[in-house]
């Protein structure tokens, strides 16, 4: 069962954590944020909207298609005078054209089949010379083996049927780059990096996080019984880590392109 982003129950699902330093450092290594007008498309609970403001952006706009999630984002960012939010989507933002220096689309394109329309909208919203940043997982990112840091990999070794469900919706790096070129962007580049997702003081904290399916939409495809069996399996794999700090990381791909 897929997560319902419009549900009242899920309004705070993606607003409870902070952007990790691994993400902040990666973004700052590929573009300058200071003084820029930034658009965060698919902003969710405002985690990265807030991060851009803290990185020195002059103004940040968060855009999302869910009124419930936007309500949570507004609460999350209420102390920031240089942040606002709009209801809209990646294909039809209803925002003024050519007003943004930087656009981020994080964990959005795997929900979108029509990349051409998505990238065309971003191109129109950017100022000339503006930077488009896309972050998502490729099929290759998804199927890496599980380890004490890559917990997600154990989902697929326990339930191989999840592999096709996870990878079929993912776009290859080649497709992303080619579509960026078709829509007029120049110099598209892809970067792989490991982003720290969360640090757990003990194994039982990870167990609680998994059982709550916190921020992990793929786990909504499992029944409660399957989820419990998955957690038991992961605990077996990490038995030697009991009473040790666990730093969970996910591998992502970031693409950067410039409006010609």
0.95 exceeded by the pTM? no
Residue 138 sits in a domain whose CATH number is 3.40.50.150
Instruction: DSSP for 173-187, please give it.
Output: HHHHHHHHHHTTEEE
Where residue 242 falls among pLDDT bands split at 50, 70, 90?
A: confident
The model's pLDDT over 186-221, given as tens digits with 9 standing for 90+, comes to 999 999 999 999 999 999 999 999 999 988 989 999
**49 burial class (0-12, 13-18, 19+ CB within 10 angstroms)?**
buried
Q: How far apart are CA 79 and CA 16, in angstroms?
A: 16
The model's pLDDT over 123-153, given as tens digits with 9 standing for 90+, comes to 999 999 999 999 999 999 999 999 999 999 9
**DSSP assigned state of 10:** G
Provide the pLDDT for residue 259.
Answer: 98
Whether residue 152 contacts residue 219, with contact meaning beta carbons closer than 8 Å, is answered with no
Provide the pLDDT for residue 134.
Answer: 98
User: Does a structural domain hold residue 3?
Assistant: no
User: Does a structural domain hold residue 237?
Assistant: yes
User: Does a structural domain hold residue 238?
Assistant: yes
Q: Which domain holds residue 37?
A: 8-259
Q: Which residue reads 């990112």 in tokens?
A: 141
**DSSP assigned state of 109:** G
Arithmetic mean of pLDDT, 11-22: 69
Arithmetic mean of pLDDT over the chain: 93
Whether residue 209 contacts residue 230, with contact meaning beta carbons closer than 8 Å, is answered with no
User: Does a structural domain hold residue 2?
Assistant: no
Q: How many domains does the chain have?
A: 1
Ranking 78-82, 164-168, 198-202, 240-244 by mean pLDDT, the lowest is: 240-244
Whether residue 248 contacts residue 198, with contact meaning beta carbons closer than 8 Å, is answered with yes
Q: How far apart are CA 108 and CA 111, in angstroms?
A: 6
247's enclosing H/E stretch is strand 246-259
Long-range contacts of 176-180 (CB under 8 A, 24+ apart): 176/109, 176/115, 176/134, 176/255, 177/255, 179/115, 179/116, 179/119, 180/119, 180/132, 180/255, 180/257
Q: Is 90 exceeded by the pLDDT of residue 235?
A: yes
Q: How far apart are CA 211 and CA 18, in angstroms?
A: 21
User: Does a structural domain hold residue 1?
Assistant: no
Whether residue 170 contacts residue 143, with contact meaning beta carbons closer than 8 Å, is answered with no
Arithmetic mean of pLDDT, 46-70: 97
């Amino acid at each position: 069962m897929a997560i319902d982003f419009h549900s009242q129950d899920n309004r705070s699902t993606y607003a409870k954590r902070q952007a990790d330093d691994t993400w902040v450092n990666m973004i700052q290594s590929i573009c300058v944020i200071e003084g820029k007008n930034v658009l965060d498309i698919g902003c969710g609970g405002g985690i990265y909207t807030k991060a851009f403001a803290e990185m020195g952006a002059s103004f940040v706009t968060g855009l999302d298609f869910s009124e419930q999630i936007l309500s949570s984002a507004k609460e999350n960012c209420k102390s920031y005078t240089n942040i606002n939010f709009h209801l809209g989507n990646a294909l039809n933002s209803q925002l003024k054209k050519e007003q943004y220096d930087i656009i981020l689309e994080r964990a959005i394109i795997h929900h979108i089949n029509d990349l051409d329309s998505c990238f065309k909208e971003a191109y129109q919203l950017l100022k000339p010379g503006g930077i488009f940043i896309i972050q998502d997982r490729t099929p290759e990112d998804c199927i890496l083996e599980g380890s004490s840091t890559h917990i997600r990999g154990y989902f697929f070794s326990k339930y191989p049927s999840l592999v096709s469900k996870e990878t079929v919706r993912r776009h290859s790096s080649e497709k992303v780059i080619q579509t960026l070129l078709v829509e007029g962007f120049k110099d598209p580049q892809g970067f792989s990096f490991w982003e720290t997702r969360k640090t757990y003081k003990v194994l039982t904290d990870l167990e609680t996080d998994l059982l709550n399916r916190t921020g992990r939409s793929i786990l909504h495809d499992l029944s409660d019984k399957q989820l419990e069996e998955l957690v038991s399996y992961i605990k077996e794999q990490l038995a030697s880590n009991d009473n040790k700090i666990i730093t969970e990381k996910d591998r992502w791909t970031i693409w950067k392109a410039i409006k010609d």
